[in-house]
Structure 1
């Protein structure tokens, strides 16, 4: 870590000194690009073409002031083209460099919006809700009416090819182990923590969601099933501006959200910040029907429970960018959240020797108080080394998470006649968790020419966690510690990584070849049990991507990547967490990382229709298993390694424009997954199933200021390790209206219109008998209002990617 920080400082010092020097090279063309309002065009693409044959000689990106410069030019005549998103491509020239005219400043180049006029109707291009670029599927959430007021988790559950099981595990086209990034940064959260974080991330704050099945070596190798990058909205205007958002909703209980985004941009400083609040009350019903057999005696359990949650979540972010001239930017940002939740869980357990017969009853009233806080600090630096695209980025991050969870369990026991059978059993679990993350990374891009570049970088992360699990019994009106159940668990992990990624474009072929090396050291220490598990391993992760254009309308591609999933910190902690007396989860300190090799073959037609065939094989696959203890008659939720999982898939994505006002996007996936293990609960295990997934989104332009959207998805039965899930389906509907010169927007949305989304699973192990159903509050009607204020001049905002995202992904956030 010290070496990486030192390297960052030396790079910063060297690049700043080099960029401060002047050049005496001859043969130079310089200029300035502005829009129709004569405001600078920032980060526009400028190309220098030979007038003789129109071949591109050099390329450049305009600076913050709209300036560009081409150096070291040979005598000759040139044209200049300028391209900027949403604006017409502009050809300028000719311009001549000669022995007499070596330094040339061209007149200001003005570009105009790409607006086509038909009689009196202006037609301006708008991004579709779903689009594909190379190997990335992009959901333009900011354009979606259904995203208003929804959470990130709800939006992801409807994404093409995605499925989320009852434990919150995300699968992409049948491939579990998907890693989630926010603004290009891994979150380092456990599955439960990530689910909670996504559940409280407001959909109004999301710009796009990117789905990547085979990411390049530039990204962390974590994520055997692929990666999801959630990009949050960023203000793009000069001066002072912002957005106000407020909304409310109702399903069975109320929902509320509010937020503000502010941005101020002057010549050398950019200040930004946002704050979002959500306050929701929601329910979840859970039913478990199961039986256990021991010594020729069978016991039946019928458990019915309702959980009520009251959530109040606050999230914030603030930062500053300072421009050290045109080529160097240094920035600082801080972000965090403070989330509170009260849980009221009531469970009735009916126990009998035969189905329908009640021999005894246990009623449980479990009250929980949970508080989660987090702060992340990021120092970043960017240097643009020349006009060809050579640049260096550096990030230093420090994050800390404080999770405090206290649950009191009150259990009452009754006989068959409903009379109290014995004294109540009252106990509580207190689970404070402290997590600290220090991470640093440096990325460097060197373009050999406009069609060939090399990306390299290094990264280091150091994570420590401390879980002090305390179990106490209520005895004699006092809380007494139970040493048999209490446990302190500490964990530390250090990952050092380096990568190289080579990109080359030919006439009709594009090749990307990369290699990433990651050295991992981890130590899990169960202090109470005096059990220490240490691991130290080095892994290499190659990746390859080839895109071949066959003709104007036809393109094929092939990609391969090798990836890893490390256990999250919570899954390694061996303490027992109770849902009730008969259902609980337990960590596994012996859990090993899983490794996967993924292959994809794709075909594209007219940049619209895409067909993809995929195969992935994962060894030591980490799987959530539901295991029955026939002696204690309990159901254990336990994470363990199975030998292997193999998945073969086919995906078709096809947008269809039915009329000028009605457009659709349709995505279908067919896949077969197979799990296997030579020994699971004392017997060989195999479980496989063919699954079909379908997602269709219909958008309707009712008039220039009103749009409607309808989305429907279906997932047939599928396998998740040791259990099988029944089909899940639902329909969502929304409508939006803009006014006040499109500065204000009001959206009305209904999620799960017919209240059909429900998770039902059963055991895939023949000797185990259980059926579990979960029904969350899913039919919700929401009304959301947003208003944009301030200046409207276009500016460019930096894309940030801090160095600790991956580590944060494995910390529970409890949102």
Structure 2
């Protein structure tokens, strides 16, 4: 049996319970300053910025915010001479007379500080502080989604598919600059989902709730080692002002079906407490056309399949989050957060399969009427402690997490057989149903510690332990004489357990013109996959080391170069290890592989930057034991099996260039282009050696237009040339999106109109890259959609100050199905 590492939990509890002792020993003074601030009517001044300054040079020692009574308090002050400064909107900046803290004056009481209204009349000034849509900061590219008109009403997956260098295949697998195996984080938390399950979660995440998307191609050792292609971090919007405030959003859209979304964010922040919460709802009906043409050869006889399907999908999603942060002192915060979702999905899949012995000839047909319903529920609880031990930057974070997931998927397959196009029944209908209840539990704990050795050197270290258990009970039944009868041969129960214990260390050092960061992460993994029905158990125990190196050299004021290296891992997701058979239709199904091994990647990058705007990056990544979905043809049953396997290797060489261009004062562009070559190889795939490779070009350009102070527009265009996904080759794809935004009511209200895929051009077309396998797929989703969204910000908009939180179970959650 698996158990949480007791020593790690004891260590975690020791740190949490003894933090006050740790930093109290590092304080250098015992002085205290108290006071109160009032306005011209002797009323208390709340939420004013109160600074404690060194009297000698006016440098700030500390800053606090006045409370609801107008009071303020400074503690742990070393001996010296000080003064107080107060800043409050609409009033003149106030300075007090100097005072002394020493052995004879340990406590200083500052009598009422009277604020004076600022009577100076200022000329009207137009100030624009809007962030650009695309930014580059250090080792990441940031997409400011909150500023994008085109994010309105779209899902997180739709927005990701338009991010610079990002592509999404027909199964929802995400690649970054040609590299698959992307680890998705939300608010710095790993999501722990399989690729199919992650697609479901991203489709249910409303783009209107996203603040930024961060793309990291070579993360440091501080992050979980999962993600051979890099990390994409989605940061959700947070209402960060003092007082009580919030945002309400309502939207609707139409393509070939209706879409709707709504959301509410609330936040109340006072001196020592912050209470926050949000709720988002989406109700989308979607249509997808699917065409599959293929043939199989058996006994020198070819059989042709012409499959046409229409998939109608109704998704209803409810997601929520609520939490509280409490300042135990001016240096430590204790927080609790609960979040979750309740998602449902109904599908109507009508599939017509024509079968013949010659192209376009029909000898028989199968009409499938498949109906499905799914429900996905999740709750996650996080307890977090943060301590800023001193003003030099010494800091400690601790997290304890517990997550539970329950998913249920029920599908009824109705198959009707005809001997020809006239609809003459060839044999009785085949009707069966599958039910797949899944339960997942995740426990995790982690501690991160930052120690500034000196102003130019910083040490980061931490430990983490996670434990995941899953239970999948796949049940299949057939309809016989009006009764449902269990199909024991097709039913299967699969249980999986996994524990990962990790530790890391990062050293960051700044020289005169050079910055160096070296890190090492170690992860010890224990896993056990138990196919209870087949009485087969697969156990694994392994330890891995993941080094990382980052070097940045300033050549001049405007020129810099950098080099980075990291080693990373992708473990099989829980669903891919489950050996049960999942039917897409009577002739197409998928199956997991309990013997699937993790894949490892070594990634190198060389970068050049000019004036912090133009960036050129050359990258090379080599991945061994690549996990990929292969298409296996059964020549006897004439079926297709989508099966997870390890290919021998994949190598990706890429060149990326990004540059913003300001055409006029009202027209700005962000441009990103990537040229990459991916090559897959295996000495034995389906009995023969396999190699596939292709040179691919990606370009993304975003244009923003400032029409007036309250009206702006945005145009986005992207193009992806033909590319390789393991054993598939995809044809080029392109599209254009357009949107316009109008703000009013003192910029608290905003109305956005957006059109996705203006010319209805986005269509995914793939074929098999395996020699002698005839397989062609065309998938056209409902991509041209008109959306109208209204949002309104209400309440206080005073000083910002909400904190980010990183919980411990986020990477495990990436591998749990959440619904779409």
Q: For structure 1, which segment, 252-261 or 449-458, has the greater mean C-alpha deviation from structure 2 after superposition?
A: 449-458
1:61–1:766 CA distance, 2 compared to 1 (3 A)? farther
Within 2, Cα distance between the matches of 1:562 and 1:670?
Answer: 23
> Displacement of 1:42 after TM fit?
7.9
Aligned residue for 2:575, secondary structure, equals: helix
> Displacement of 1:449 after TM fit?
2.2
1:651-689 superposed Cα distances (whole Å, 9 cap, x missing partner) = 011001111111000000000000000000000000000
Per the normalisation by structure 1, the TM-score is 0.92
Partner residue in 1 for 2:801: 796
Partner residue in 2 for 1:550: 555
**1:381 corresponds to 2:385:** yes
Partner residue in 1 for 2:760: 755
Partner residue in 2 for 1:4: 8
Partner residue in 1 for 2:126: 122
Match of 1:619 among 607, 616, 624: 624
1:558-589 superposed Cα distances (whole Å, 9 cap, x missing partner) = 11110000000000000000011111111010
Partner residue in 2 for 1:175: 179
Partner residue in 2 for 1:479: 484
Partner residue in 1 for 2:747: 742
> Displacement of 1:625 after TM fit?
1.5
Within 1, Cα distance between the matches of 2:391 and 2:764?
Answer: 54
Within 2, Cα distance between the matches of 1:49 and 1:594?
Answer: 59
Within 1, Cα distance between the matches of 2:106 and 2:356?
Answer: 93
Query: Is this contact kept in 1: 2:50–2:85, CA < 8 A?
Result: no
> Displacement of 1:254 after TM fit?
0.2
Partner residue in 2 for 1:155: 159
Within 2, Cα distance between the matches of 1:395 and 1:129?
Answer: 32
1:228-252 superposed Cα distances (whole Å, 9 cap, x missing partner) = 0000011111111111100000000
Q: Which runs of 5+ in 1 are unaligned?
A: 111-116
Partner residue in 2 for 1:138: 142
Query: Is this contact kept in 1: 2:438–2:472, CA < 8 A?
Result: yes
1:474–1:216 CA distance, 2 compared to 1 (3 A)? same
> Displacement of 1:31 after TM fit?
12
Query: Is this contact kept in 2: 1:19–1:327, CA < 8 A?
Result: no
1:105–1:181 CA distance, 2 compared to 1 (3 A)? farther
Match of 2:288 among 268, 284, 292: 284
1:323-358 superposed Cα distances (whole Å, 9 cap, x missing partner) = 112122111111110011110000000000000110
Query: Is this contact kept in 2: 1:60–1:69, CA < 8 A?
Result: no
1:221–1:275 CA distance, 2 compared to 1 (3 A)? same
Within 1, Cα distance between the matches of 2:513 and 2:369?
Answer: 66
**1:185 corresponds to 2:189:** yes
Within 1, Cα distance between the matches of 2:729 and 2:55?
Answer: 60
Query: Is this contact kept in 2: 1:249–1:256, CA < 8 A?
Result: yes
Aligned residue for 1:15, secondary structure, equals: helix
Q: For structure 1, which segment, 502-511 or 431-440, has the greater mean C-alpha deviation from structure 2 after superposition?
A: 502-511
Match of 1:295 among 299, 305, 308: 299
Within 2, Cα distance between the matches of 1:553 and 1:359?
Answer: 70
Within 2, Cα distance between the matches of 1:12 and 1:462?
Answer: 21
> Displacement of 1:273 after TM fit?
0.8
Match of 2:534 among 512, 529, 536: 529
> Displacement of 1:269 after TM fit?
1.9
Aligned residue for 1:154, secondary structure, equals: helix
Within 2, Cα distance between the matches of 1:494 and 1:475?
Answer: 44
**1:221 corresponds to 2:225:** yes
Structure 2 counterparts to residues 71-110 of structure 1, below 5 A: none
1:686–1:96 CA distance, 2 compared to 1 (3 A)? farther
1:100–1:239 CA distance, 2 compared to 1 (3 A)? closer
Query: Is this contact kept in 1: 2:248–2:264, CA < 8 A?
Result: yes
Aligned residue for 2:528, secondary structure, equals: strand
Query: Is this contact kept in 1: 2:27–2:76, CA < 8 A?
Result: no
Structure 2 counterparts to residues 392-407 of structure 1, below 5 A: 392-407=396-411
Within 1, Cα distance between the matches of 2:537 and 2:766?
Answer: 35
Partner residue in 2 for 1:490: 495
Partner residue in 2 for 1:459: 464
Partner residue in 2 for 1:584: 589
1:109–1:171 CA distance, 2 compared to 1 (3 A)? farther
Match of 1:275 among 258, 263, 279: 279
Within 1, Cα distance between the matches of 2:358 and 2:109?
Answer: 90
Structure 2 counterparts to residues 504-519 of structure 1, below 5 A: 504-519=509-524
Per the normalisation by structure 2, the TM-score is 0.91
**1:339 corresponds to 2:331:** no
Query: Is this contact kept in 2: 1:707–1:735, CA < 8 A?
Result: yes
Within 2, Cα distance between the matches of 1:364 and 1:381?
Answer: 54
Partner residue in 2 for 1:114: none
Query: Is this contact kept in 2: 1:26–1:102, CA < 8 A?
Result: no
1:362-421 superposed Cα distances (whole Å, 9 cap, x missing partner) = 000000010000010111111111111111111111101100000000000001252111
1:93–1:758 CA distance, 2 compared to 1 (3 A)? farther
Aligned residue for 1:122, secondary structure, equals: coil
> Displacement of 1:109 after TM fit?
15
Partner residue in 1 for 2:118: none
Query: Is this contact kept in 2: 1:49–1:80, CA < 8 A?
Result: no
Partner residue in 2 for 1:16: 20
RMSD after superposition: 3.3
Aligned residue for 1:188, secondary structure, equals: coil
Q: Which runs of 5+ in 2 are unaligned?
A: 39-43, 116-121
> Displacement of 1:145 after TM fit?
0.5
**1:239 corresponds to 2:243:** yes
> Displacement of 1:271 after TM fit?
1.0
Partner residue in 1 for 2:416: 412
1:136–1:23 CA distance, 2 compared to 1 (3 A)? closer
**1:251 corresponds to 2:255:** yes
Query: Is this contact kept in 1: 2:469–2:497, CA < 8 A?
Result: yes
> Displacement of 1:450 after TM fit?
2.6
Partner residue in 2 for 1:113: none
Within 2, Cα distance between the matches of 1:806 and 1:251?
Answer: 35
1:158–1:343 CA distance, 2 compared to 1 (3 A)? same
Query: Is this contact kept in 1: 2:101–2:107, CA < 8 A?
Result: no
**1:670 corresponds to 2:675:** yes
1:95–1:549 CA distance, 2 compared to 1 (3 A)? farther
Partner residue in 1 for 2:314: 310
Query: Is this contact kept in 2: 1:68–1:387, CA < 8 A?
Result: no
Aligned residue for 1:17, secondary structure, equals: helix
> Displacement of 1:359 after TM fit?
0.4
Aligned residue for 2:126, secondary structure, equals: strand
> Displacement of 1:125 after TM fit?
2.5
Query: Is this contact kept in 2: 1:29–1:70, CA < 8 A?
Result: no
Aligned residue for 1:132, secondary structure, equals: strand
Match of 2:324 among 320, 326, 339: 320
Query: Is this contact kept in 2: 1:442–1:459, CA < 8 A?
Result: yes
1:626-663 superposed Cα distances (whole Å, 9 cap, x missing partner) = 22222211111111100000000000110011111110
1:768–1:664 CA distance, 2 compared to 1 (3 A)? same
Within 2, Cα distance between the matches of 1:139 and 1:739?
Answer: 25
Within 2, Cα distance between the matches of 1:135 and 1:104?
Answer: 46
Within 2, Cα distance between the matches of 1:30 and 1:220?
Answer: 44
Partner residue in 2 for 1:680: 685
Within 1, Cα distance between the matches of 2:75 and 2:516?
Answer: 29
Within 1, Cα distance between the matches of 2:623 and 2:66?
Answer: 46
> Displacement of 1:284 after TM fit?
1.0
Within 1, Cα distance between the matches of 2:577 and 2:37?
Answer: 56
Query: Is this contact kept in 1: 2:351–2:368, CA < 8 A?
Result: yes
